[in-house]
């Protein structure tokens, strides 16, 4: 079955440190890939999306993600964490033949220590 795997349900970093949140998808055909962020008590907000135009995708708030077909990965990074980055992050994928429906990973909760 098509799936999305996010490694690590909780990630903790210090303020100013690199943020790396991992996402792997399960298809040989490059899908559409998304990262969403959910701040406490809020809905999901789109961070960035990959639609085959470029393998390195820049999003909002200094985040970026790189599509690596050979590794079936789409990891999210930010060079320097800020306290306001504390949130839950979801990787989501639209696979071909899925009628455009999103399949979500289980989420990674990011904590930022002062």
Cα separation, 32 vs 72, whole angstroms: 12
Position 22 contacts another protein (CB under 8 A): no
**Interface with another protein in residues 34-93 (CB under 8 A):** 34, 36, 42-46, 49, 90, 92
Q: Are strands 87-94 and 32-38 parallel, antiparallel or unpaired?
A: antiparallel
By CB under 8 A, tell whether 28 contacts another protein.
no
Q: Which of 11, 76, 81, 94 binds another protein (CB under 8 A)?
A: 94
The least CB distance from residue 62 to another protein, in Å, is 20
Q: Using DSSP bridges, classify how beta strands 108-113 and 10-14 pair: parallel, antiparallel or unpaired.
A: parallel
Calculate the alpha carbon distances from 42 to 17, 26, 29, 104 in Å: 25, 29, 33, 17
What residues line the site for another protein (CB under 8 A)?
Answer: 9, 32, 34, 36, 42-46, 49, 90, 92, 94, 99-102, 104-107
């Amino acid at each position: 079955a098509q799936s999305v795997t996010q490694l690590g349900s909780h990630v903790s970093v210090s303020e100013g440190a690199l943020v790396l949140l991992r996402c792997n998808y399960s298809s040989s055909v490059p899908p559409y890939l998304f990262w969403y962020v959910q701040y406490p008590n809020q809905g999901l907000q789109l961070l960035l999306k990959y639609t085959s135009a470029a393998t390195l995708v820049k999003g909002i708030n200094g985040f970026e993600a790189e599509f690596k077909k050979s590794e079936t990965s789409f990891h999210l990074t930010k060079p320097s964490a800020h306290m306001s980055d504390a949130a839950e992050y979801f990787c989501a994928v639209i696979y071909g033949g899925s009628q455009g429906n999103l399949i979500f990973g289980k989420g990674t909760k990011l904590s930022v220590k002062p």
